[in-house]
Amino acid sequence: MERKMIYLSVYVTIIGITSLAQDITYHIEEELSNSTKIGNIGDDSNLFSAIGGSDSSSLTFSFLTTGNQYSHYFRVGKNSADLFTNDVIDRETVCEFTEICMLVLQIAAKSELGSFFRILKIHVFINDINDHSPVFSKSTLTLPVSEAVLVGTSYAIDGARDRDTSPEYSLKQYELQSVDPDFTGNLPFSIQFSKHLDGSSIIRLYVTEPLNREVRDAYHLEITAFDGDIPPRQGRLPVFIIVSDANDNQPQFDSPSYNCTVTEETMEGEVIIQLNATDLDSEDNGKIKYKLSPHQSNEIFDKFGIIEDTGEIILKEKIVYSPGKIYRIIVEAYDNPIDGQSLSTQTFVIVNIENTGNNAPKIVMNLLTQNDNAEVPESANIGKVVAFVEVVDHDEGKQGMASCIIQSIDFDIQRIDMNKYKIFVAQPLDYERNQIQTVTVHCQDNGKPPLPASASFNISILDKNDNTPVFTESPYTKNVREDLPVRDFILQVSATDLDSGKNSKVSFEISKRYTHKNYFYFENLPNNIANLRLNRSLDRDTISSYVFPIYAIDEGEEGEPSKTGSAMINLHITDVNDEKPVFKMSPFTIVVLENLPADTPVGNVIATDNDLGVNAQVEYKIHPDDRDNIPFIMFSNGNIKTNQELDREAQDRYEFKVIATDKGENPLSSTGTVVVLVSDANDMYPEIRFPRPDNNTASVVQSAKPWQIVTRVLASDADEIGTGNSRLRFDIIARNDSELFQINPNTGEIQITKSVDSVEVGKLFKLDILVSDYGKPRAKTSPCVLFIRIKSSNATKTEVSTDVLSNQNFLIAIIVGIVTVVLSLGILATICIIRRIDRERKEEQKRKNNNQIKVDPDINDRQVFDGSITVFSLPSEDSLLNEKKKKEVSFSLEDDVFSDDDLIQKNGLDNNHRHFKPNLSYLTPSTKKVEDNHSETSGDTGTSDSGRGGSDEEIHTSMSQSPRDKMMDFTRPLPPISHQEIIPFSFKKGMALPYNNRDYSSRPDVINTDNIEMSRRDLDPHKHGLSTMAVHLPNDSLDRSRNKVVLLQTDSGIHSDTNSNEGDNTRDCMV
């Protein structure tokens, strides 16, 4: 059926703003769809305009659900006051058997800010629509009829029932017709009907013509029921009449309706009224029975019953007086004929309730929520109304007045009218302290004696997201194998949140700022737990540990911001044997003396494995292909020994392969090469100056960078210089540092190989070091023990402890460097100008001197002048020194300088014989210890240790200043020379020229050249040349502008150094 338009009318009666309730009347049609707007109770009652102010904008509306049985069919906007349908309303269900359907609602209006509170009464009339068709109680009917039946005989048939009760849409008529296709002619039947109070009806089927079973023994008929709509709704009943061989009178009550009154004292089981009905039929057809019509509310069946044979209505439970409350009972009388076609009739019984006693008050709770539970957020303001309490007492006068108190923690009660109270928030709420509170209301009337009543209900405190998730553990620490498969479980985390609902549901995530966050992910599980799983393959050799923050984030209710808790995860990656041993060098070159007995140690090979523990332990063996072809054996620790004497003349070089294999579960190996060179012997042992038993400790700070030099082993060999017998090699032969340090085999420098973990701070590592020379045929070795202590970075006073300070120092260093460069450029420019002027003056003076000086023909046997540098040809070693001197060269620099002319004049060079006769005994060097405060070890090795491995016996040339008036001459000894500074330089052998043959125009400048060299190009063929040496000095070592004279003191030894890159004819010396 097409839906009709909503018919809505509103009648508003305004009783006054001070009244407790205001009546509003609405008319709506039934079957309206859910959420159809009916009206606005605030506007229709004039409530908004009447109260005005802040209370008007803060009003909230809710149903008084208790006592309002129809409130669930509607809903009201909490703030808008719009009234909507909340369900499809079936008028026939709500108002059964009545032509007028009116629903009464009560709505509470209260202020969220103030104490305003009103109750509005709403009358909603439900108008009927034709939404039901007539329906027969049976789908088909078979009726036997005797052929001897008299014309006019009728048969009762249960008619159709139309649930629509309005006059225009209820049942209107019936129609009878044959549906037998072979039947022609007039039917010998007709029908009439009568309606009952419950909407049902009874049909009388009349026989209108005599029946003849021999002519027709059955009729196939159809009864159609029509209602009053246009077009009408229909209901059909197929009727099969079997002509056979009737009850034709229905029972009649002696009154169309009955009234009775029941008091509150009437006991259960008492008869409240007896009905009587008669039937004109005889015998069984006239025997009457009674029953309550099944088409009425369950309340009737709960409170009343009827005796089937007598018609007595009894009270099933006691009734309490309620003003205006009556009960309408429909009672049906029916006969019981033999043929089973019963006839019946119905009547009304009106039951009134009389107030006769002192009744106890009854407490009616109305919870101001949209559901059946009282709820209030923990952030509710004090004074917020949470429930409306009405005390119902049917006693009259003062006996019906009651007073109430409350039993609660955070709530209180206040009277707002007679027998009406509101319950409100009395103090701040806390969900975490008390999630559910039980509120009990105690009331007592003024009767004699006073009667009490109590009622309780629970108020749920709604949670606000005011608690941060807390991890059950922090930090989480776990060891993880580096071969853990991707997506495998690592560890489980959990967190707690004292909130509830979504506010307590926690999910977990890894910090998005963590660099390696893609290596892991969380699998979030119920109950605020999550599994951390691997997302990418691990490699301990690349990253040995992962430390990262994780977060627990609650969901938060709608409109509530989420809260986040944090914790740390420390994952230590454990080693798996996945790295092959790597030889430190390949080939390993080893020199061994010939003619040594069998089982002589040759050397050892070293391979490193980046794994840990057993996986990093390496064993060695000779390759099977070479095992039988060489005179060596190898032990598992890498040591190599001879198994027979070696004959260098037979073979001076052996090369073979060795295999290094780790001890891991699945061993890995690699191959290296060893070269053994057979050499000769040696008789001097290396002398170690550092470390020594009284000075053998160095230290390094934790923050030292990999490959930083931390100290140096100082040693020398008194064997012949320039051969392998004096060249030294440094090796670590035993250690407990897990290869944290390595030694430079040529220089003795100890380097740190990797960053130092904080756990190593304070540890003392022992290195057994072997210093060996390359002597032939047998190398000499000297062992020493070096201890290295790891210090905390904070222990170094000059080190800044924070990154911020480091950055500031870095910036300051840059600025200072820039300023220094600028100032240096300016100073250099000034110096260059001054030196240029001075050089021009000096050259002019030299030209004058050249024109005046005559050189002794034999001067080349004793001296050579080269501007500012004087090289003396010294006497033999035996004539100069009585004890053996070390093969070293030292220079003495005079700080109080003198010019060339001064040197000539002051030291006895006259015009005829300009040459020196120096007193060489005054050139004997003196020693002075040089302090070093620039290394890590300077503060740990004592006053005798430089910290760079230097010993207390390091020799430096003493130099002194001499005033200008105490210059050297032939007869007076030279003044003492004090040490000023040590300048590195080198000698180069050559042939000097006679002084008078030097070309001064092309003479090298002392300041601007690196090399001052006396060459052969000025050689006099008539004079025997001196053995001379080139002096290599740094550019800034000497200041030519100050007219310094460099005095060289050398011994008569061979000037050579095997460490020099210039071959056997050069040697490093100290100036």
Across 884-898, average pLDDT? 37
Question: In terms of C-beta density within 10 A (0-12 exposed, 13-18 middle, 19 or more buried), how is residue 624 classed?
Answer: exposed
> Is it the case that residue 1001 has pLDDT exceeding 50?
no
* Of residues 282 and 986, more confidently modeled: 282
Residue 17's pLDDT is: 38
pLDDT tens-digit map of 302-358: 999 999 999 999 999 988 777 778 899 999 999 887 766 788 999 999 998 887 767
Q: Where residue 460 falls among pLDDT bands split at 50, 70, 90?
A: confident
pLDDT tens-digit map of 517-560: 999 999 999 999 999 999 999 988 889 899 999 999 998 877 67
pLDDT tens-digit map of 103-162: 888 888 888 877 788 888 899 998 888 888 888 988 999 988 887 788 999 989 989 888
Q: What percent of the chain has pLDDT over 70?
A: 73
The four Cα atoms 499, 503, 507, 510 give a dihedral, to 10 degrees, of -90
pLDDT tens-digit map of 384-437: 999 999 988 877 777 778 889 999 888 999 998 888 999 999 999 888 888 888
- What is the 8-class DSSP label of residue 487? T
Residue 55's pLDDT is: 66
DSSP string, 139-170: S-EEEEEETTPPTT-EEEEE--B----STTTS
Residue 825, SS3?
helix
| C-alpha span between 97 and 716 (Å, rounded) | 127
Residue pointed to by tokens 């063929």: 1021
| C-alpha span between 882 and 14 (Å, rounded) | 139
Residue 546's pLDDT is: 95
Alpha-helical regions (H) of 721-764: none
The answer to whether 632 and 642 are in contact (CB under 8 A) is yes
pTM > 0.85: yes or no: no
Q: Where residue 849 falls among pLDDT bands split at 50, 70, 90?
A: low
> Which amino acid makes up residue 389?
V
> Is it the case that residue 692 has pLDDT exceeding 80?
yes
| C-alpha span between 460 and 367 (Å, rounded) | 12
Residue 807's pLDDT is: 60
Mean pLDDT computed over every residue of the chain: 76
Residue 659 burial (CB count, 10 A): 17
Residue 277 burial (CB count, 10 A): 22
Lowest mean pLDDT among 568-577, 847-856, 970-979: 970-979
Across 664-690, average pLDDT? 85
| C-alpha span between 380 and 437 (Å, rounded) | 15
Residue 348's pLDDT is: 92
Q: Strand 117-127 relative to strand 102-111: parallel, antiparallel, unpaired?
A: antiparallel
pLDDT tens-digit map of 55-84: 677 888 888 877 677 888 899 988 888 999
Across 39-57, average pLDDT? 78
